[in-house]
A and B are shown apart, each in its own frame.
Chain A
Amino acid sequence: MAALAAASSASPPASPGFVHGLGGGLLETAQTAGGMTLLLVRVVSRLVRLQFDRQELMRNLYKMGVKSIPIVIVTSLFTGGIMVIQAAPIVKRYAAQGLLGWAAGFGTLREIGPLLTALMLSGRVGANNTAELGTMVVTEQIDALRALAIDPISFLVTPRVIAFVTTLFLATLYADALALFGAAYAGYGLLDVEPRVFYNGLTSGLLTLSDVGVGLVKSVVFGVVMSLASCHFGLTVQGGAPGVGRAVNATVVASAASIFILDYFVSFSL
């Protein structure tokens, strides 16, 4: 409070609060980025030496991956359907039934599949991860691990990063397939486009494997950044249980923001 008051009285009257806030925000962002980079270096150094806990990896793959299947199924089936509903007026007006498969496929594989799957998992998996690690920090379980001469990065963080990236990659692949399936059936129900015609539109040569590839590259980039963010915010929790709440919040916001920013850059460069 005192620092804030001193800063605002020392600076010129023109909106000192805004400048102060902007500076603080930039500083905080730089700190987070620095922390995540450091964490990445540490995780990679454990990865190349194969120093990570196998059991913890399996537990996290199950918790993150298997348990996320229902939510991925529901969202991707409906997403496919929604794409068709949006395309319906144009398809009808120009009688472009043959292009429906291409349109749905292009949007889904390159953009909607990876984007929506990442957003779904940031809420489910990322938030959960931060809460779990944050609770371990405030209850001194991380210190207890270090006191037992066990490295928290290889025991807790590296397995979570691997599990998160794997889960997001597989879930995206899975969501792509399901969304196209949903789109094909919505096309049949709403526009009388035979699934076979839809399939032909999808495979007629306008779409290539590189479209699938772009989406999957995105999912890996998202996975790395989201897993690092969720572990970073979890491990740096301060101030007991309320601190865990703030960290979870920070993870969800930072993940969503970085997904969109990274999506822009990956789309631009590929």
Chain B
Amino acid sequence: MISFRNVKKSFGPKAVLKGVSFDVNDGEVFFIIGASGVGKSVLIKHLIGLLYPDDGEIFLDGEEVSRFDEERMYPVRKKCAMVFQHSTLFDSMSCVENVMLPLKKHKGMTDKEARDDALKRLKQVHMREFADRFPSELGDGMRKRVAIARALTLDPTYVLFDEPTTSLDPVSARRVDHLIRELSDTVGVTSIVVSHDLVSIFSIADRIVMLYQGQVKMLGTRDEFRSTPDPIIQQFINGRAEGPMET
């Protein structure tokens, strides 16, 4: 279980998170939504020690992880994987080498074993035939799928997906949705998904939190979001240009 408790974060004079609290239950597909720049990426980076809160606590399986040093963060990162917004594959390695790296580093596999395993994982995201290409030769959507395969190599309990379907074509996007849902239903993986993709949100989310102006605006199920009278939430989930929302 993951808990954010009154998390605050500023960059210089700019307060991004102004006291964010919510819990994520085990095995659920939990969406974080909100306008660009509201601090969604910033928030999830706190969970694996890429950023530290100015104030507040973050619990992961009962441990307060937000003050861990780099060394103590490593076990946390092994059970809580992250797919970055901009895929962040290593430029100097081919796709398959990107996926092989954590397998060799943490599972003690030989080159051959790691390659076989990596190819299987690339097949899962329909990237098998691009295994030996370099990231710079691929489009955004393809890179993102390789990044997803790489993040899942250590069989994490928690996965943070930062906009996994942005820049994917509709077919690949629905496949990624399917993969996230399946990870939760069959393996019991807990997913935190940052997304603007309304189709994803309303097809696979168990619960949704909306951030607005540095705070939680609403936390609830898909149906609760659909039926709320709040004009700001209605504007956001219907994608309307006109309305009370300030950005």
Contact = CB atoms under 8 A, between A and B. Distances in A.
A143 B101 contact: no
Contacts, number: 57
Given A136-B91, A149-B75, 10 more contacts: A139-B86, A140-B84, A144-B84, A148-B105, A148-B154, A149-B106, A149-B154, A150-B105, A151-B70, A151-B74
Interface string A137-158: 0011101111111110000000
Interface string B121-154: 0000000000000000000000000000010001
B27 interface: no
Looking at chain A's contact residues, the main secondary structure is: helix
Contacts of A147: 48, 50, 77, 81-82, 84
Nearest to B80: A147
A148 B86 contact: no
A148 B77 contact: yes
B78 interface: yes
Given A148-B102, A148-B150, A149-B106, A139 B88 contact: yes
What is the interface residue range for chain B against chain A?
A: 20 to 34
Interface in A107-151: 132, 135-136, 139-141, 143-151
A143 B50 contact: yes
B90 interface: yes
B46 to A, nearest CB: 12
Contacts of B150: 148
Contacts of B48: 147
A56 to B, nearest CB: 9
Interface of A: 59, 132, 135-136, 139-141, 143-151
Interface of B: 45, 48-50, 70, 73-75, 77-78, 81-82, 84, 86, 88-92, 101-102, 105-106, 150, 154
12 contacts: A135-B91, A140-B84, A140-B88, A143-B50, A146-B73, A148-B77, A148-B150, A149-B75, A149-B78, A149-B105, A150-B101, A150-B105
A265 B243 CA distance: 69
B73 to A, nearest CB: 8
A238 to B, nearest CB: 12
Contacts of B90: 136, 141, 144-145
Nearest to A63: B92
B102 A150 contact: yes
A145 B93 CA distance: 13
Contacts of B101: 148, 150
